[in-house]
Every structure is written in structure tokens, then in C-alpha cells.
Amino acid sequence: MALLNIAPLATSRSRKTRPAIGQRLASAVLAPVLALVLAGGLLATEQRSARAQAPDSIPDLAETLLAAVVNISTAQNVTAQRSVPLPQVPEGSPFQEFFDEFFNRQQRDENRPRRVQSLGSGFVVDGTEGIIITNNHVIEGADEITANFNDGSKLAAEVIGRDPKTDLAVLKVTPEKPLKAVPFGDSENLRVGEWVMAIGNPFGLGGTVTTGIVSARNRDINSGPYDNYIQTDASINRGNSGGPLFNRNGEVIGINTAIISPSGGSIGIGFAIPSEIAVRVIAQLREFGETRRGWLGVRIQEVTDEIAESLGMDKAEGALIAGITEGGPAEDAGFEAGDVVVEFNGARVPSMRDLPRMVADTPVGEEVDVTVLRKGEEVTLKVTLGRLEEADTAAAETTGKQSDDDAKDENPVVLGMTLSPITDELRAQYTIADDVKGVIVTAVADGSSAAEKRIVAGDVIVEVAQESVSAPADVAARVKALKDEDRRLALFLMSNAQGEVRFIPLSIEE
């Protein structure tokens, strides 16, 4: 409309001045208008691009997917434990008979098995075979499992395999006719910001649809050894566990399993197991009823910036081998404590937490090349993977007790640590296992680098800068040599009384 009003204004001027004035008016008015038009066009393009990330019709997509999502209800018989202790009353007291009768009756009631029910979600991946996927924690310990479908039908389900390490479980039902199933999609190439839809059974309400985006990838929430979650802001609440997270094509790219919530409700931080992890686990559970992961037989720790510097590495990457399992594949292949695994089976190892997944995803019995950094040189070792032992190992911590012994010539103080050879008396005093060898720490100075790293009396120095030590003089000599090389840090391999080892970088700058 502004452009149309220019002409009448121009016609009121003389012919001589009209073209010049008209051009100036047109330029003055057209420039901002064209800018607005262009901006509007760009905005419209961006809006169309954003809309393209979501399906053309969310209701249509949800309608096709709801039939494949099930509510999982479980029942379990449990026996309650006495929570209130029996009061102590004097023998023969008039209250004794009363309390005995009251608490005996209460105990009889508590010992009666009670029926406990819980709810979760799941989804069908094989409609002909009746295969349903859910979380392990949804069905763990259940005596009865029922799959409730969106059309109101119910089917009893049995567990054919479960994996606590990834919190996945595979169930089987026997349908009269093929069930609606959904396929898995590609989570490996999933991008932050992509549109997603969650369907589940929050708070037992039944099939509920929520939408959002992928907020982050590769999240480690310290829930297990293979954490690599997709984070989403799609509303996920209690009861959504085991339900699917769909992409815009209706493919399952994640399995909803956890939330962060101070109140118990959704605050927009939910986590889903990526399909790239789930597919491998589910295939093994369906075939074998259990997982069969590769096993290397090493104890590893993170390569920190300090450790990387002490080893002369350009950057912190890979996984530092802190110990070798006796009789394991790594020992047979010639791995050594202090090696840094930088490449596994042709793929770089970005960080410590990546190596367990890479090993676990490799078939049992396969021979692979593993490149390690050893004393500044890359060494390639061939190792045949074993099968991961499923028994959990508990890491015992010892606090030790600091000694008040004064430092002597035979007990030098190095980097704030008073050192001594391991004698029978010290071995007995600190309960050090017979197979632990090295130099014992008998005291640690307050404020020293060793104290900051939580080294305590009773800890044993096994190696300094990847060289074994057997006497206090060896430790002092190694530290001096590193100082002469203008090194800032020395990498100590420390053992506790039980023989469990860890690498600790200590500052050697004065």
C-alpha cells in the first residue's frame, strides 16, 4: 500500500523535478520495504525448514504408532520386614504380655506375602513372534508380566532375556494375530535439535504422546558401564520407562529409561538408550537369552590432562591400563600396566568410557589389533577377546593410618611422602598382601601434592614413570631424573593393601 501512494504524491510536482523526486522517494521507501520482504522471505524459509524437521501431521504419525506401544504391568509377591524394633521391658513387667501379644500379631501380619504392582512401557518390534522390548528395571523381580495394548486387549508376557548393564529386557507374548510392530532407526547419525516423539504410560495413564527435540547426545549419567544416552526435552515421567522415542519417520531411535527430576515429574531432562546400542543387545538376548560381550581383561582409568602430560602425550585421549587380569586375554597378548589404549580394532579410542563399549560390541573369540602408547612409542598388539565375566567386582577402599615416624636417612621424604622398604613389620601393620611389591608410604605431609591426591600411609609405590621400584632410593632417583628432564609431573603407579592399583600424577615442581 505504501508503494501505491507514491504516484499521487509525485504528480503534484513539476515535470522537471518529478523524476528526481520520484526516484528519491522510491529509493527511500523501497529500500526498507524490500529489506522487510527479503527478511520475511528468509524467515518464511527458516520456518518452512523448521517445520520440515517434524512430520507433516503429528496426529497421523501418532495414530499409526500407538498400536505398537504397550503398557507393561507387573505383579510381585513380597514379604515385609519388621521396621519397628520390639521394645525392651523388664522380665515379669505387666507390659511384657501386652507387647508380646501386640508385636507377635503384627509380625504374623507382616510375614504374609503382599502383592506389589508396578507399571511401565514397552513396544513391539516383531508382530509375528510377539517380541516386546522394555527396560530391565520395569520387569525385574516380577512374578507376573502383562502387556496391555492400546485397543484394550491384554496378553501375558514371559521374559526371554534381560541385560541389567544396559537396562534392557526382551519379552514374548503369544498373539492370535500379528501385532503392529515398529522398526528401529539410525541413532548413530542423530543430530542435536532433531524432532522426536515419546509414547508411553506415564503415571499409569495409558498411551500418552509427547514431543520435543534431541537436547544432547553421548550423555554419561553414571548408571552403568555403557552409558551413552540420548538426552531429550520431550516430557518423560514415571511409567514412561521402556517406551520408545521415535524420529519423524516413525522409527525407534531410543528407549526411554531415565529422567533427572528433583520432584519426580518431568523438568525436560530425559534420557533414552540409543538404538545403536539396543539393537545389538536385543539380538543377543533373542538368540541366546543372555548377552555375549567381548572381554579384554584390563582395569582402566581416565587419561587426565596431568597424566597425558606426564606421559608426554599431546592431548588427553585413550584409556590408561591400571591393571591386567591374571589369565585374561590382555595378559596373554602382552599388555602392560601403564599402556594407554589409543586405537581398538582400527578405530581411535577418544576416552576411557568409549573402550568398554568398543570391546563389548566386538564378537567373542575375534582377534583384533589394539594400539597402545608405551613409554612414548606406539605398539600394536594382537589380542583374541574372551567373554565378559558377568560377576560384579567390588572395589574395596582402604583409608590407612598415617605413621608418626620421623624421617630418617633410610626413610627419605620424596614429594611429601615418607618412604620405606616393605618389611615384615610394616606388611603386618598395614595388612599388606604378600604379593604386593614396591616401596611403602609411611607418612604424607599435609598440603603436599601426594596429600591432595589422597595418597595415605600404607599405600605402596609400584612404579614411577613406568619403571618398577623396590627401594626408596629408586623412587628418589626416578623423580630426580624427571626433574633433570624439565618434566613437571611424575606418573606413580600406586597399590593399596589388597593389591588394587591406580595411576596418580604428582607435581614434581618445587
- Whole-angstrom distance, CA of residue 94 vs CA of residue 91: 9
Task: Give the per-residue pLDDT at 393.
Answer: 36
Q: What percent of the chain is modeled with pLDDT above 70?
A: 77
Domain 294-387 has CATH 2.30.42.10: yes
DSSP letter assigned to residue 411: B
Residue 499 has pLDDT above 50, yes or no: yes
- Whole-angstrom distance, CA of residue 458 vs CA of residue 463: 16
- Whole-angstrom distance, CA of residue 456 vs CA of residue 435: 20
Residues tagged active-site: 137, 167, 241
Task: Give the per-residue pLDDT at 196.
Answer: 96
Domain 413-507 has CATH 2.60.120.460: no
Whether the full predicted model's pTM is greater than 0.75, yes or no, is: no
Question: Which CA distances in Å does 392 have to 49, 165, 302, 389, 484?
Answer: 49, 11, 20, 8, 44
Task: Give the per-residue pLDDT at 345.
Answer: 94
Same fold, 195-288 and 413-507: no
- The ranges assigned to domains in the chain are 195-288, 294-387, 413-507
- Could you read off the pLDDT of 169-179 as tens digits, one per residue? 999 999 999 99
Fold entry, domain 195-288:
Thrombin, subunit H (2.40.10)
Residue 4 has pLDDT above 50, yes or no: no
- Could you read off the pLDDT of 464-477 as tens digits, one per residue? 988 889 889 889 88
Average per-residue pLDDT for the chain: 81
- Whole-angstrom distance, CA of residue 80 vs CA of residue 93: 29
Task: Give the per-residue pLDDT at 397.
Answer: 31
- Could you read off the pLDDT of 59-79 as tens digits, one per residue? 999 999 999 999 999 988 765
Task: Give the per-residue pLDDT at 419.
Answer: 92
Task: Give the per-residue pLDDT at 95.
Answer: 57
